[in-house]
Amino acid sequence: MTRILYLGNTYFSLFQAEAATGSLNIEHLEVTSADGFLTAAKLTFPDLILIDYDNPFSWRELLEYVRPESVIVLGTNTSESAPIDVFRHGASDYIPMTEIASFIGNLAGSRYQFPTRPLYNELRFQKIVESSADGIFIIDQNGMISYSSPSVTTILGYDPGEITGRNLIEFLHPDDHIGVQEKIAEALLLPGEIIEGHTGRMCHKNGQWRWIEAIGKNMLHDPLINGI
């Protein structure tokens, strides 16, 4: 039976109910620091680690100590950015709040299949990004657009195919060129760090200027993203 370590409190009662039937081999511990986790891991030798997204001991920090494919993050809010964040950092899976009960049932019945294949994460990542209300661009170090999410159509009026392959600068107000270029340069110096983006104007397909607030992150090192 898979040895499971749950680092959280949000869904403890659900796990406890399944464990009482003998269908789950699970340990529940409150962990709020790296030292606490290392102690817990030595006591349990888990095959699978479950952690709440909002656990004070960040799942991002957890990934520094274990194989990412052994970590599943459990959703504790409805943020659209949460699963994107989880997959970008390499955790095995993200379980939304609405799927927790069925996930626990599948674990108990040995029906859960671990999604360790890169293709799975790629497809799920694409589904999440394409359902986001925020406009998402992926650009290279020179500003060339390699991906534009469908929501860009709602914001700027262009179909993704009309934007992909063109330079981001083409859509910016001339007064914002330097500011955006500086932010791209900053992102290149800080891979993996979130960069507070430039607030400026982008040209709508109808010719009007739209004010856009952006944030960025250099993910050129991540083969799933390969861009900023």
Q: For the domain that residue 81 is a member of, what is the CATH number?
A: 3.40.50.2300
Q: Is residue 185 one of the residues assigned to a domain?
A: yes
The Cα–Cα gap between 117 and 92 comes to 9
Residue 227 lies in a domain: no
Same domain, 56 and 163: no
28 and 105 together in one domain: yes
Residues 69 and 168 in one domain: no
The order of strands in the sheet holding 3-7 is: 25-29, 3-7, 48-52, 71-74, 93-95
Are 118 and 174 members of one domain?
no
In a domain, 92, yes or no: yes
Identify whether 228 is part of a domain. no
Q: Are residues 26 and 96 in the same domain?
A: yes
Q: What is the pLDDT of residue 201?
A: 92
225 part of a folded domain: no
**Cβ-contact 76, 53 below 8 angstroms:** yes
**Residue where a domain terminates, one of 78, 98, 130:** 130
Q: Could you give the dihedral angle defined by the CA atoms of residues 134, 82, 14 and 41, in that order, rounded to the nearest 10 degrees?
A: 170
pTM of the model: 0.51
Q: Which two tokens stand for residue 48?
A: 């699978």
- Which of these, 79, 110, 71, lies nearest to 96 by C-alpha position? 79
Domain boundary pick from 130, 147, 164: 130
Q: What is d(CA 152, CA 135) in angstroms, rounded to the nearest whole number?
A: 5
10: left (phi over 0), alpha (psi -120 to 50) or beta: alpha
Statement to judge: residues 98 and 210 lie in one domain = no
Q: What is the CATH number of the domain that holds 204?
A: 3.30.450.20
Burial 135-147 (b: 16+ CB within 10 A, else e): bebbbeeebebeb
Looking at the structure, tell me whether residues 115 and 178 fall in a common domain: no
Domain check: are 118 and 202 in the same one? no
- 178 residue type, one letter: I
Q: Is residue 142 part of a domain?
A: yes
Measured between alpha carbons, how far is residue 135 from residues 108, 155, 160, 212 in Å?
39, 7, 10, 10
Taking only the tens of pLDDT, the chain with its 228 residues reads: 667 888 888 888 888 877 777 677 777 777 777 777 777 776 667 778 888 888 888 888 888 777 777 888 898 877 767 887 787 777 888 888 888 888 888 777 766 665 544 444 555 566 556 656 678 888 888 888 888 888 888 889 988 888 888 999 999 999 999 988 988 898 888 887 878 777 889 999 999 999 988 888 888 877 667 788
- Residue 79 tokens, joined: 């943020």
| Whether 126 and 148 share a structural domain | no
d(CA 76, CA 59): 13
* Residue 80 domain-assigned (yes or no): yes
Maximum C-alpha span of the chain:
66
Same domain, 122 and 147: no
| Domain identity same for 180 and 202 | yes
**Inside any domain, residue 224:** no
Do residues 176 and 212 make contact, with C-beta atoms less than 8 angstroms apart?
no
Where is the domain boundary, 130, 152, 184? 130
Residue 146's domain comprises 137-217
What's the domain count of the chain? Answer: 2
Q: Which amino acid type is present at position 163?
A: I
**Whole-number Å distance between alpha carbons of 1 and 82:** 30
pLDDT of residue 204: 93
Same domain, 125 and 141: no
